[in-house]
Amino acid sequence: MKYLAFAAGVLSASAVVAETPELTVYTYDSFVSDWGPGPAVEAAFEEVCGCDLKFVGAGDGAALLARIRLEGARSEADVVLGLDTNLTAAAAETGLFAPHSVSAEYDLPIDWTDDTFVPFDWGYFAFVHNADLAAPANFKSLGESDLSIVIQDPRSSTPGLGLLMWVKAAYGDEAPAIWEGLADNVVTVTKGWSEAYGLFLEGEADMVLSYTTSPAYHLIAEEDASKTAAAFEEGHYMQIEVAGKLASTDQPELADQFLQFMVSDAFQSIIPTTNWMYPAVTPESGLPEGFETLITPETALLVPAAEAPALREEALAEWLGALSQ
Amino acid sequence: MAGRAQPVSPGAGLVAAALVAAIILGAVAAVFWRADTGAGLGPADWAAIRFTVFQAILSATFSVLLAIPVARAFARRRFQGRGVLVTILGAPFILPVIVAVFGLLAVFGRNGWLSIVLGWVGLPPVQIYGLHGVVLAHVFFNLPLATRLILQGWGDVPAEQFRLAAQLGFSASHTRRVIEWPMLARTVPGVWAVIFAICITSFAVALTLGGGPRATTVELAIYQAFWLEFDLGRAALLSVIQIILAGVAAAIALKLTPFEGLGAGLDRTVMRWDASALSLRFWDAGLIALAALFLLLPMAAIVLSGFGALADLPAQVWRAAGVSIIVALASTAILLALAVPLSWSIAQAKGAGMEIAGILGLAASPLVIGTGFFVILNPFVNPQDLALVVTALVNALMALPFALRILVPGAREVARGHGRLAVSLDMSGWPYLRHIFLPRMRARIGFAAGLTAALSMGDLGVVVLFADPQLATLPLQMYRLMAAYQMEAAAGAGLLLLSLSLFLFWAFDAGGRRGAAA
């Protein structure tokens, strides 16, 4: 009898839980980690939604999309958060995503018109270096200099892919020549951002491909003003990170509510000092102190999402050709 | 031994081998089944295959060639702290890839200790990035394992043979020709094949130390197919090529391995009268010192960089350490359930099939295996709920080839030395295993279990795609710290990982040797 009573208790307890709707959000691993925005976002949204927000981490942005593709329409996910504009065309093509209903005044350097994906943060790729280094002002003088750089492989890393698109967007058909110039500056190529940034901090190279916002981490979290990003005359390539609602969701209203919440102050004010990116909508309180010290590129480069896949293939072949010699 | 009566039937091992093959090949097949784009290999893939094979041949060959004199030095010498040194020198093998890379670069990098010392005398920094860097890193990883396995080969030579050699007045070179060469011929091909297999799936180490896309391996091509292009067919096809490469290497190695026994002895402690010359002592001491320097300096760098952060590691790291220990112990249990019956069956059979099945887990791409498990599990359960179970299972399969290299030679000796007597005494089944087989295998089982536990601690696992966020393992938590810019805390977590791996290794290894049948 005791077992029956126990079982009944468990059943009624889960019945209570079931009354609270659950929203499942797939995101990249570092978003949901204890040091990312995940825990604070979860607390803030659960305060207003009367729901249980469940973050599920899966590798990085591209791995996230791969997982959604593997799961197809059977996915438990209601929202996917953490794709970027290199991936949105492929993501939309799967037909797994539904249009959103979000309206917001974005503080992006470009107009945002996508009706499937909602941006939540963005940043510029940049070469980060120690402040005492005389940094070059463009790719050509970087290629001519003796400076050493660490970059990430575009075949396995989002920033690596960003650099590929950066050079291609800035130089078009001249891109192979730029890469040939850079070839002897590249100390090594790493699998992901963490390895490259770690190598830079260990002194293995003068500069590392990262974001213009990276120095903000050192300044704000470590009170270390010794890192800065090099401003390039060609302009800087952007990464815009987005979220989208899955067509197969069983919580469409809650998913819409989450996407709308995502562009509100409560979510956006968490982003700068956890994800170390610019919020898509600057919160009323403004950016944290320290962000004003960052370089602000005059030209924002971005290949339109629809053109990205074809251009990527061409740029990758050029990159391999120049660096494999 | 085929056809000769043995006290325990090889059935259990056959089941284990079939199970391993089914799991690995099933996972790859699942990825093929799920693929919808046409699979085909381009010129870049063939270049990756060529580079992969080339670096793996170099890495395995150098690891083994360097391991032979080091192992001989250890075999010939007894000194204070020898046991501890042998254990610690094993550490690079069980290090997580990223920790080892940072340790190596702290010594051999452009800003490493070696470059700094060279700078004092006006020399330029070390140029570590390139093919030689890839080989250096792979030797760093695998020299310890090769040394340990070959050292075990020396240990298998009955002490009586060295006594007899001494009575006959053998010099060191006589001993080498008559006793040591035949032992090496039996041991080395298998060790080479296992290291070749592990180097086949190298990716991050090869890319980082290789200095760029020149060092593109098959595993990176798989990553590209999956990550960048979502071409599952190509990813699976490339993984089949990895399996074939490792399988062919294993088959060749087994073909080259002579099967005649060393002869039985009474398991006495070995005294080496042939190696007492002063010059040989200096030679051996020098070799041991060089190997220790090469292997311990990068580890010293890991300890130094992580030590400061160890005291205030975030609570999540300690929790992750607990998760990792549980996964490691589960892996070890799975491994023993597979490897012990397998070793017994391989010892009796002459065919290479079972041993090649054992190498599958190491040869197949972790990414493809993880994806395969995902595809198989997804229709029935949330793969995330089984993330740790899958991690434990796959880590056990990856350790299996190493465990077999440890266990099989011992199992052969037991079968040869005691099998017939046991049959004539009508002793079979469990009594035989308990009184004859297991006591003689105890030290090896401890070594294999320790290696598996430590390897499993350090492995990021195949489940990055569907890792459980609440139950992260220690390597995953370390990556998260790095992704959050917290490189110092990550170094602390890396040191914790190294310490725990080493402790688990030591606990099983020493536990196995204690009270092992002498």
pLDDT tens-place string over residues B305-340: 899 888 888 888 999 999 999 999 999 999 999 999
Decide if A170 contacts A139 (C-beta within 8 A): yes
Alpha helix (H) residue ranges in chain A = 2-19, 29-32, 38-49, 61-71, 88-93, 139-144, 158-171, 175-182, 193-201, 214-222, 252-262, 265-268, 308-323
CA-based nearest residue to A243, from A98, A108, A134, A139: A98
Q: Give the span between the Cα atoms of B456 and A12, in whole angstroms.
A: 40
Per residue in A141-152, is it b (16+ CB within 10 Å) or e — as a string?
ebbebebbbbbb
Q: Give the span between the Cα atoms of A70 and B280, in whole angstroms.
A: 61
Q: What residues contact B162, with CB distance under 8 A and at least 6 apart?
A: B175, B179, B270, B271, B272, B273, B274
Amino acid sitting at position A235: G
Q: What share of chain A is helix, strand, coil (3-state, %, to 5)?
A: 40, 20, 40
- Please list every residue in chain B whose beta carbon sits closer than 8 Å to the beta carbon of residue A186: 211-212
User: Inter-axis angle of helices A193-201 and A158-171, to 10 degrees?
Assistant: 90
- Please list every residue in chain A whose beta carbon sits closer than 8 Å to the beta carbon of residue B101: 195
Q: What share of chain B is helix, strand, coil (3-state, %, to 5)?
A: 80, 0, 20
pLDDT of A107 reads 93
Q: What residues contact A253, with CB distance under 8 A and at least 6 apart?
A: none
Q: Which fold has domain A124-237+295-323?
A: D-Maltodextrin-Binding Protein; domain 2 (3.40.190)
Q: Where are the domains of chain B?
A: 11-37+54-513
Structure tokens at B242: 């990895």
Just give the CATH number of B11-37+54-513: 1.10.3720.10
A146 and chain B in contact, CB less than 8 A: no
pLDDT of A227 reads 95
- Please list every residue in chain A whose beta carbon sits closer than 8 Å to the beta carbon of residue B309: none
Q: Give the span between the Cα atoms of A186 and A143, in whole angstroms.
A: 9
Residue intervals in chain A for CATH 3.40.190.10: 14-122+239-291, 124-237+295-323
Query: What residue has token string 């295998």?
Result: B441
CA-based nearest residue to A319, from A192, A122, A206, A155: A155
CATH architecture of the domain with range A14-122+239-291: 3-Layer(aba) Sandwich (3.40)
CB contact under 8 A, B378 and A55: no
User: Three-state DSSP class for A14?
Assistant: helix
Q: What residues contact B479, with CB distance under 8 A and at least 6 apart?
A: A29, A194, B98, B460, B490
Q: Give the span between the Cα atoms of B456 and B465, in whole angstroms.
A: 18
CB contact under 8 A, B467 and A195: no
Q: Give the span between the Cα atoms of A4 and A10, in whole angstroms.
A: 10
pLDDT of B259 reads 60
- Please list every residue in chain B whose beta carbon sits closer than 8 Å to the beta carbon of residue A56: 384, 469
Tallying the residues shown for chain B, one arrives at 518
The residues with which A244 forms a beta bridge, in sequence order, are: A80, A117
CA distance B112 to chain A (A): 8
The residues with which A81 forms a beta bridge, in sequence order, are: A27, A243
pLDDT below 70 — which residues of chain A?
1-18
Residues 34-93 of chain A with CB under 8 A from chain B are 34-36, 55-59, 62-63, 65-67, 69-71, 74, 76, 90
Which among B208, B217, B486 is the top mutation candidate for probing chain A, defined by the most A β-carbons within 10 Å of its own β-carbon?
B208
Lowest mean pLDDT among A45-59, B149-163, B209-223: B149-163
Structure tokens at A97: 């995503």
pLDDT in tens, A192-233: 999 999 999 999 999 999 999 999 999 999 999 999 999 999
pLDDT in tens, B217-275: 999 999 888 888 888 888 889 999 999 998 888 888 877 776 655 555 555 556 676 66
CB contact under 8 A, B375 and A29: no
Query: Which of B111, B207, B480 faces A189 most closely, judged by CB atoms?
Result: B207
B126: exposed, middle or buried (Cβ count in 10 Å: 0-12, 13-18, 19+)? buried
User: Three-state DSSP class for A155?
Assistant: coil
- As a whole number of Å, the end-to-end CA separation of chain B is 25
Q: Give the span between the Cα atoms of B146 and B152, in whole angstroms.
A: 10
Note the pTM of the prediction, 2 decimals.
0.89
Percent of chain A topping pLDDT 90? 79
Mean pLDDT across the stretch B123-148?
91
Percent of chain B topping pLDDT 90? 27
pLDDT of B161 reads 80
pLDDT in tens, B420-477: 777 777 777 777 777 888 888 888 999 999 999 998 888 766 666 667 767 788 988 8
Decide if A146 contacts A274 (C-beta within 8 A): no
Structure tokens at A88: 């949105």
